[in-house]
Amino acid sequence: MKSYFLSYAHSDSRLADIVERIFKRHGVRIWRDKRNLAPGCRFADAIQKAINERCDGLIIIVTPQSLTSGFISNIELLEAHHSQLPIIPLFFGVSIKEIKRLSPQTIGFDLTSFQGANELPSPESEDEASIQQKVDEVAWKTLRESLRQLKSARPGKSLRVALHSYSHVLDKDVDIDLDWTEYFQDALPNSQVWNDVLLPALTRVKRAIMGSGLTTPELFLPFGVHLSIGLAFGFVFRQQTRFQLAIQQGPQIWHTRIAPSSRETVPKLTYDRKEADVDDPRSHDMALGLSFSRDLRNSLDQMVGVRLKRNIVPPDGPGRHSVPDGKHALWWAHEIADRIGKLQAKHRIETTHLYFSMPFGMAVMLGWFLNARGPIQVHEWDKKTGDYQSACRLRG
């Protein structure tokens, strides 16, 4: 996967941070001078080489400041134009009439002839939400166009999706590069960030894949991100959407495409409370602990004001190797999703709170089965605070 070059005036650096973050959360890799230039390089030569050799297109933040930059006009834009790369203009605080008048004079062609985003707020605006909606739309459509090109170059192949939340590791073989490290860097994102920003981004990534015309909806995911992301990813690309998933789990590859007959060899899970046990009959919430890697009974005991609590453990108890392979992970995930549905129906549960400690691949598979089980409030273990924090809320 190549990158998109981000062109901007350095006085618009804060604005560039926002635009970069929006594109990266939609799986579009960004090449930016302050992150990618090597110390001591010849600046103009390195920029031209990046545009020519490493980028599939150029995104320009058009502001009154960038319109007067000779470097942007004479180096970056002209290099992209001569290389026939797509140019995606984002117009901030400038009118289309003004751009039509100025851009032919400064760069030799009309920037408004390229599809981008118009009438964005001025660069001085502090309201990221006002920028987000229009730039979100451009970001997912940019991904869709990249995938359409991929379809022509590599028909019939699975898509390789990388998810990042701890650190970003560059992988040249990745087709969709979801870099969410900024959202998890200092603290876990709260429910509002999840539900207003991250889950909608995942949904738009799905739209981009489905709109690209790719006929093989199998996604391959390397492992190594927060469990809530795995669960959310599986949920967005769940079974009913006809996507099949292949997840790297250590040295193994776990697949959702497994023969039904394999279920006969997988033992049932253990439940530490009877189905009839009720904690607070006035509540319509349920708390589930999924204790596969470690026992969550203590965390579950701290949850108050719920109708019932259930701790679910594998047959041999929690542990690092309690889920031996993808077959066990898939059918145990299926069993948990089925049990959630039955408990919701029997006890008239409105919201299910999910606390889980399990392999990343199993979290993805559980999300893949969670259709018509919502709303489910996911809770993520926070290593910094030593307790669970509210994460995404899944509405099936």
- Report domain extents, the chain: 1-125, 265-394
Between 74-88, 122-136, 161-175, 246-260, the lowest mean confidence (pLDDT) is in 122-136
Encoding tokens for residue 61?
A: 């933040």
Q: Which residues sit opposite 290 in a β-bridge?
A: 312, 356
pLDDT of 274 strictly over 60: no
Cβ pair 289, 299 in contact under 8 A: yes
pLDDT of 275 strictly over 60: no
% of the chain with per-residue pLDDT over 70: 95
Cβ pair 35, 8 in contact under 8 A: no
* C-alpha to C-alpha distance for 166 and 180, rounded to whole angstroms: 8
What is the residue-averaged pLDDT of the chain?
89
pLDDT score of 105: 80
pLDDT score of 52: 93
pLDDT score of 37: 76
Between 246-250, 297-301, 315-319, 381-385, the lowest mean confidence (pLDDT) is in 297-301
CATH classification (class only), 1-125: alpha beta
Cβ pair 199, 232 in contact under 8 A: yes
pTM (two decimals)? 0.92
